[in-house]
Structure 1
Amino acid sequence: MKAIKSLQFDTDKVRDEKGIIKSWTILLIDGVEIILLYDPPHILKCVRNNLLTKDLEYDHDPKLTEEERKFASWDHVVTAYHIDLYAPRLNRMVLDLTDEHIYLDKINKMSVKLMMQVFNKKLASFMDFLFLMPGPIDTHIGPLDMPSEAYHTAFNLNLLNDFGDGFSSVRKGYVRQGDRNTRRVPWTENFYQDEFFKLSARQLKSMWFIDKKTQKSVTTDIPSLQNLIDTLEDFLVIWEKLKSLGFESFCTHAINQEPLENFFGNVKSH
């Protein structure tokens, strides 16, 4: 980290001399720009891990009353899971979810798959359906009610799902059979990613984690949201540079640790 900070200091000095806007995630080494990236799945896992014990406030405005503030809460995810698990219906609505996805003492915090099965449009849609239901829902563990505030949790699950897809686009021939998620296709000129990532970065800047009980901002440093903003913006920088070099598409799945880990795993196996 000390070496990185030294390089950042040297880069800022050069940028000051040339009147170039500073960016701490872009270094200059012998005149060559090096873009620092966080591993996208790891950043999303950090957001999920913080959401387990804190609420996430977004679109914050000091003028809002307590009733008008918007919170995403893991409590809503737990309630949706209980309704899905214990309601007397023929089939579950979100079959992928298990105790290992939901309960703090059982979650594998390092699993990307488990994290993305919660940051999922199917769960977000199920929660959206539940809070529109009139009155509590009868279940085998008693009546359960999905509060209207769960809309904000569903909104953020949907948003985080789109981040995950945007960070893991692959060539069309590599999309899983039956995968209807068009957002995993490569980035191309004038496709949704440019505007979506720019709008999302602004959305993230209005978010922070708050204490579940006091509903006040958490004072300890939680860098995951800022790191996610930096990653979004740096992916856009890379895409602009690729386009300037004549590239017509960008498969973002190549820029995460998984291919590198798979490569080293193959090397170790021989």
Structure 2
Amino acid sequence: GKLAKFDHLLQAIEDDKTRRCQMLNKIRECYLHIDRYPSIKTKVSVAAKTLSNTMAAAIETAMSCNKIPSEATHTAEFVILINNLFDSFNSHKKPGPRTTLLNLGISNKTRHISFWNQIIKVIEEWTFRDRKDGWIKKYMLFKYGWINNIKGLKVIRQICQNAGFEYLRTRALNQDPIEKLFSLIRQHGVGNTNPTPFQHLSALKTSVPNNLISHSNKNSNC
């Protein structure tokens, strides 16, 4: 089988540091030692920057220069796969002519569903080797979390399609919009931090239409 190693990422980063034109200048030192920095373990931005197409390109560049072993090609393939998975869960653009892109909204013409069907089978076969003791683990919470999220998103897509939606932007389903909604609810009244169910429903009915007709930047986080 194929084996992706974290060491290949470290080697690619060290090789990139020796180049005048660096590709991985957004990778901070703490990203490589998350065991020492617990506060960044749950940050999506860390994973998105580390497991990106740019990282895959840096690995292949280092391989072509014989700076890291050729087996690192499996690591590059894994990085690209995760990058595509991130894109499919963070799509924000209206579907256009290039329907192969996964950062476009899901429609009948895009390849999201076929990609998800394929990657579920891949994720189910994942096993994990401990870097310290070499133990092989098949069960990891995030592994089944990804599978459940993919299946759930497929259901949501089908519901939206049946309701007549032309496309679905998956970015609208992540945590930021939920945080924004509850922030708007808290702004009703004087510090509406502990509303009753009736007050919450009233604030919700006011916040949603107000936000729809607002002239604020719809792509902003707040």
Q: What do residues 72-97 of structure 1 show as CA deviations (whole Å, max 9, x unaligned)?
A: 11111111111112x1x322122211
Alignment partners' CA distance in 1, 2:155 and 2:87: 18
Deviation at residue 205 of structure 1 after TM alignment: 1.2
Deviation at residue 183 of structure 1 after TM alignment: 2.4
Residue aligning to 2:48: 116
Alignment partners' CA distance in 2, 1:267 and 1:237: 28
Say whether residues 1:207 and 2:129 are aligned partners.
no
| Structure 1 stretches lacking a partner, 5+ long | 1-68, 135-144, 174-180
Residue aligning to 2:179: 261
TM-score under structure 1 length normalisation: 0.61
1:189 counterpart letter in structure 2: N
Deviation at residue 193 of structure 1 after TM alignment: 0.4
| Structure 2 stretches lacking a partner, 5+ long | 192-222
Alignment partners' CA distance in 2, 1:263 and 1:195: 32
1:248 to 166, 188, 195: 166
Residue aligning to 1:185: 104
2:53 touches 2:80 (CA, 8 Å); kept in 1? Answer: yes
Identity rate of aligned residues, in percent? Answer: 23
Structure (1/2) with the larger helix percentage: 2
Structure (1/2) with the larger strand percentage: 1
Instruction: State the superposition RMSD in angstroms.
Output: 2.4
Aligned length: 182
2:129 counterpart letter in structure 1: I
Q: What do residues 99-149 of structure 1 show as CA deviations (whole Å, max 9, x unaligned)?
A: 122223247113221220011001111102212323xxxxxxxxxx31222
Q: Which has the higher contact order (CA 8 A, sep 6+)?
A: 1
Deviation at residue 214 of structure 1 after TM alignment: 5.3
- Counterparts in 2 of 1:18-167, with a 5 A limit? 69-85=1-17, 87=18, 89-104=19-34, 105-106=36-37, 108-134=40-66, 145-167=67-89
Q: What do residues 9-43 of structure 1 show as CA deviations (whole Å, max 9, x unaligned)?
A: xxxxxxxxxxxxxxxxxxxxxxxxxxxxxxxxxxx
Deviation at residue 203 of structure 1 after TM alignment: 1.0
